[in-house]
Chain A
Amino acid sequence: AQSVAQPEDQVNVAEGNPLTVKCTYSVSGNPYLFWYVQYPNRGLQFLLKYITGDNLVKGSYGFEAEFNKSQTSFHLKKPSALVSDSALYFCAVRDYGGGSNYKLTFGKGTLLTVNP
């Protein structure tokens, strides 16, 4: 069964500093990996995805993520954090083991707080 772990419930960074939100995954087939962000009382917004190709994926709002197959990790990064980046971040995996159904397995989420 596929699974995702976000080891940090909360990450605090100062505005202007780089940020990293960690994610590790476990799948039986090839991983399709996603990052989503959730603001209070809102749905999830798609940030970026890794399907295949370059290990560094660039996404919305200046975010990027680094895929590392040997460490089964997909960490979210941003070079310079903004206060407006404060939100709940979810890592998700779709295990595309040959089936066509669409099911995402999410991590527990990491609350990012960017301090002014």
Chain B
Amino acid sequence: KAGVTQTPRYLIKTRGQQVTLSCSPISGHRSVSWYQQTPGQGLQFLFEYFSETQRNKGNFPGRFSGRQFSNSRSEMNVSTLELGDSALYLCASSAGGSGNTEAFFGQGTRLTVV
């Protein structure tokens, strides 16, 4: 079956702009999580959605937001972009619920803020 699809793969934005990233999880998966990956901070958890509800949120400013639709697809939005937001943004999907399921990651969206 198809894996996790993230679009777009690459983005270049200017400081102050906003950006929306999209993630389509594996069919049947109801949990979608977002992570930011940077060379300095590594992989950091942004938030997780399950059945359209945010279940958990990481320690990021309110400029970072997300949502999940009824078909489990998720979007992540970053407003008022800063240079430090340049990163690889990864989306992961899992069946959710019990703890014994692994998460599957998309290829990521490389965001560059100039």
Encode contact with A along B1-23: 1 for CB under 8 Å, 0 otherwise: 00010100000000000000000
Contact of B90 among A43, A46, A101 (CB under 8 A): A43
Encode contact with A along B79-114: 1 for CB under 8 Å, 0 otherwise: 000000000001010101111101111111010000
Q: Are B55 and A44 in contact (CB under 8 A)?
A: no
The tally of residues in A whose CB lies under 8 Å from a CB in B reads 26
Q: Are A106 and B56 in contact (CB under 8 A)?
A: no
Q: A51 near B: Cβ within 8 Å?
A: yes
Given A101-B55, A102-B31, are A34 and B102 neighbors across the interface (CB < 8 Å)? yes
Query: Nearest-CB distance from A65 to chain B (Å)?
Result: 13
Contact of A100 among B58, B96, B102 (CB under 8 A): B96
Q: Are A108 and B42 in contact (CB under 8 A)?
A: yes
